[in-house]
Amino acid sequence: MIKVSAPGKIHFLGEHTVVYGKPALLAAVDLRVTTTVIPAKAGIHTNNDLRKIIEPIIKKYLKIKTIPPYNVEISSQIPIGAGLGSSAAVSAAYIGTLLCFLKIKWDLNLINKLTYEAEKVFHGNPSGGDNTTVVYGGLISYIKGGPIEPLPFSISPKLSKNFVLINTGKPVETTRQMVEMVAVHKDKFKKIFDEQEKLVSELLPAIETGNEKGFIRIIQEGEKNLERIGVVSPYVKAIIRKIEKAGGAAKICGAGGKTKATGILLAYHHNKKVLEKIAKFYILPYFSTSLGVEGLKLH
């Protein structure tokens, strides 16, 4: 029996712009997906949709024609389609277990590379930020095609205790659709992309030193830029304005949505109760979780 788990991710900032070569700052979150592979007798090979995506990638890369029979169990704490990287996490964990099952040496670079191939099947033109974060864990400063940079510091405890993740629900639009929608207007958005790049670079020192005032300003401005590129619905904008008015900051986290739900909101306030009250007002589920946790893990 082989068991591997992977965390979800949040975007502190840089989603969408990361697709166009700008930097993004991400963190692994303490919600995990666990996959277990159990060798099976020939013939009782279970089937699932993920298998149809992952096995061809592995066969192509390892240049093998068949994979011995096995059964796979998948259990996940990560809500699907909420911007928490569930597709990257489940693919990474599945690929990790399957490579172990095939007696391939544990190699995060290889698992990350193959997970990126799976992400392409799911989302079309992914940046690779989600898979990199769930595989390596911690805090990641990501640039498409650049070196992988897990940051050598964690989020200042002054900030880390004050986050609440509010779930606005599963967007009707898929990540692929949202990325394609932004791509249509990308030339028009050049100035916004440049502004977002500057904000991401300012965010790093704010997170490291626990500069709360700076952090709130950057998240508010970053969210406004996401709104300007059309990935935040009017319903969610209203929730975010309420949080800002109460002295906090919040942003969508991932691809977003333009109709109603946008998935998870990353919300910050020095008094978390304020955020919890707002979530309750909108009858939305909310929770707190550790940020910057361990990446892919062989149990």
Question: Which positions from 176 through 215 interact with ligand MEV, judged by CB under 6 A?
Answer: 179
Question: Which positions from 106 through 135 interact with ligand MEV, judged by CB under 6 A?
Answer: 123, 126-127, 129-130
CB-CB neighbours of 26 under 10 Å? 29
What H or E segment, with its residue span, contains residue 105?
A: none
Nearest Cα neighbor of 290 from 73, 26, 102, 29 is: 29
Closest CB 84 distance from ligand MEV, rounded Å: 8
> Is 29 a binder of ligand MEV (CB under 6 A)?
no
Closest CB 257 distance from ligand MEV, rounded Å: 11
CB 95 within 8 A of CB 118: yes
Amino acid at 257: G
**Given the DSSP bridges, would you call strands 249-252 and 264-268 parallel, antiparallel or unpaired?**
antiparallel
What H or E segment, with its residue span, contains residue 216?
A: helix 212-228
Closest CB 69 distance from ligand MEV, rounded Å: 34
Closest CB 261 distance from ligand MEV, rounded Å: 15
Nearest Cα neighbor of 222 from 207, 238, 202, 239 is: 202
CB 24 within 8 A of CB 13: yes
Query: Could you identify the residue written with the tokens 């963190």?
Result: 27
Nearest Cα neighbor of 28 from 102, 108, 98 is: 108
Number of residues that bind ligand MEV (CB under 6 A): 14
CB-CB neighbours of 44 under 10 Å? 9
Interface residue with ligand MEV, options 4, 6, 15, 137 (CB under 6 A): 15
Interface residue with ligand MEV, options 16, 22, 251, 269 (CB under 6 A): 16
Nearer to ligand MEV, 156 or 177 (CB): 177
Closest CB 226 distance from ligand MEV, rounded Å: 10
Question: Which positions from 244 through 283 interact with ligand MEV, judged by CB under 6 A?
Answer: 254-255
CA 60 to chain centre: 26
Question: Which positions from 56 through 95 interact with ligand MEV, judged by CB under 6 A?
Answer: 83
Closest CB 182 distance from ligand MEV, rounded Å: 8
Closest CB 3 distance from ligand MEV, rounded Å: 26
Nearer to ligand MEV, 219 or 278 (CB): 219
Q: What angle, rounded to 10 degrees, do the helices at 212-228 and 234-245 form?
A: 160
Q: Report the interface residues with ligand MEV, using CB under 6 A.
A: 15-16, 18-19, 83, 123, 126-127, 129-130, 175, 179, 254-255
